[in-house]
């Protein structure tokens, strides 16, 4: 990957809807080689997809919670827990961690009542879960904008 590829990545992270013509202008290429580079970055898995950034409030998901979860430390329990998370759409990010807590979740729901329902009916009921701790997000200070390239 050279400097032009990195510039292409920076520009597409800023605006994934750029036309190839505009992208080529911004990175100092003609459209044809620019398109070849983008396609190669996609084929190599460097560019994994394109997404719209949605306002959580607009889709009734403005209440966000960071949840630390402890799961029994055996392979079957961890695998069952991770598989079950895939079926809970309110869990928008999930990470297995070294040490304690064993797992960190980011959850987006409508309000406190919706989170309480999720906590009681789903999170604490998952097989292998021994502890659930919640931290309600007061304010998002820095929005994700992509990786430094």
Residue 103: both structure tokens together: 């797992």
Q: What pLDDT is stored for residue 103 in this prediction?
A: 97
Residue 16: both structure tokens together: 């994934």
Supply the pTM of this predicted model: 0.87
Q: Which long-range contacts (CB under 8 A, 24 or more apart) does 25-29 make?
A: 28/4, 29/4
Query: What tens-digit pLDDT sequence spans the chain (149 residues)?
Result: 999 999 999 999 999 999 999 999 999 999 999 999 999 999 999 999 999 999 999 999 999 999 999 999 999 999 999 999 999 999 999 999 999 999 999 999 999 999 999 999 999 999 899 999 999 999 999 988 889 99
CA gap 115, 59 in Å, rounded: 15
CA gap 131, 141 in Å, rounded: 28
């Amino acid at each position: 990957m050279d400097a032009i590829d990195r510039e292409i990545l920076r520009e597409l992270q800023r605006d994934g809807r750029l036309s190839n013509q505009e992208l080529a202008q911004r990175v100092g290429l003609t459209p044809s080689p620019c398109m070849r580079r983008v396609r190669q970055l996609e084929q190599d898995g460097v560019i994994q997809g394109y997404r719209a950034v949605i306002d959580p409030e607009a889709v009734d998901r403005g209440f966000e919670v960071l949840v630390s979860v402890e799961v029994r430390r055996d392979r079957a329990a961890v695998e069952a827990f991770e598989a079950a998370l895939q079926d809970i759409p309110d869990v928008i990010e999930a990470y297995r961690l070294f040490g304690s807590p064993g797992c960190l979740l980011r959850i987006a729901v409508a309000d406190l009542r919706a989170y309480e329902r999720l906590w009681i009916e789903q999170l604490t009921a998952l097989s292998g879960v021994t502890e659930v701790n919640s931290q309600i997000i007061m304010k998002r200070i820095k929005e994700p904008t992509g990786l430094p390239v």
